[in-house]
Structure 1
Amino acid sequence: MIDHTGVNVSDYGKSRAFYLAALGAIGYGIVKEFPASVTGSTDVAGFGPPGKPDFWVIRGVPNQPPIHVAFRVDSREEVDAFYRAAIAAGGRDNGGPGIRAHYHPDYYGAFVLDPDGHNIEAVCHKPG
């Protein structure tokens, strides 16, 4: 079971704003945030549902190659809201909302590239 994960980003402020908007559409917010003066090395923000940061954004050299992170949501409407919010926040389309039947008949996902090219997805596995 995965407890948490994160991505290194080149522009912390820009990525923080992107993820705040994109993940806010699926109920995530900043749960914890620490400046370099506290961590001893870099700025970090932990996003998640209230009370539990499970996705961290870390100022640094972006992961190469870019990584893929998928957030499971409860409805197709949340997938759509994530996609709209991520695009409005500067994300780039990497596959709009829709069924991906090659995974399974109810796989409904949307993919965006964050400011550093990481492939970020929201996915619902429930029937429409």
Structure 2
Amino acid sequence: MFSHVNVGITDFERSYAFYAAVMTALGFELRVREPQAQWAGWAAPGSRRPLFFIGLPYDRQPASPGNGGMTAFLAATREAVDLCHAAALDMGGRSEGMPGLRPHYHPDYYGAYFRDPDGNKICVCCHEPAPLR
């Protein structure tokens, strides 16, 4: 459905460090990093698209998060949700909802929410049932 998603940032090196940790926790791979152009992008292993990009706004005006806007990443496991949320907080993100079940969405929805250093709202969620023990 999507070709790519882009999130506006204000400080490339800070945002790159933040998202590199988040993407690593999710198992996504860096596809492009151009510090001179101040943008970078990641995708799932073995796929070309969709891509998730960070970068300064094209018009070079200040980046600002939208009211009601959110980017949600699909995690393969609940453990990946936990790892990603922890990595986001370790890198200066702000929690908007600890990892856990959200049964009001559906019985197996396990998600976490945080804001990046620029205030962009990010969700990480897994739709799979808990593994059998």
- Given the two structures, how large is their TM-score scaled by the length of structure 1? 0.87
List structure 1 segments (4+ residues) > 6 angstroms apart after TM superposition.
Answer: none
Instruction: For residue 27 of structure 2, give the secondary structure of its aligned residue in structure 1.
Output: coil
The residue aligned with 1:39 is: none
Q: What displacement does 1:63 show?
A: 3.6
CA distance in 1, matches of 2:83, 2:35: 30
The residue aligned with 2:80 is: 78
The residue aligned with 1:122 is: 124
Amino acid at match of 2:53: W
Listed as ranges, the matches of 1:28-107 within 5 Å are 28-36=28-36, 42-50=37-45, 52=48, 54-60=51-57, 61-65=62-66, 67-107=69-109
The residue aligned with 2:19 is: 19
Q: Which runs of 5+ in 1 are unaligned?
A: 37-41
The residue aligned with 1:112 is: 114
Contact 2:65 2:118 in 1 (8 A): no
- Given the two structures, how large is their TM-score scaled by the length of structure 2? 0.84
Amino acid at match of 1:49: A
Q: What displacement does 1:50 show?
A: 3.6
Contact 1:31 1:49 in 2 (8 A): no
CA distance in 2, matches of 1:86, 1:64: 17
Q: Which runs of 5+ in 2 are unaligned?
A: none
Contact 1:99 1:108 in 2 (8 A): yes
Q: What displacement does 1:77 show?
A: 0.5
- More divergent stretch after superposition (114-123 vs 24-33): 24-33
State how many pairs are aligned: 123
Please list the CA deviations of residues 76-117 of structure 1 after superposition, one character each: whole Å capped at 9, or x if unmatched. Answer: 011011111111111111101001111111110011100011
**Alpha carbon RMSD of aligned pairs, Å?**
1.6
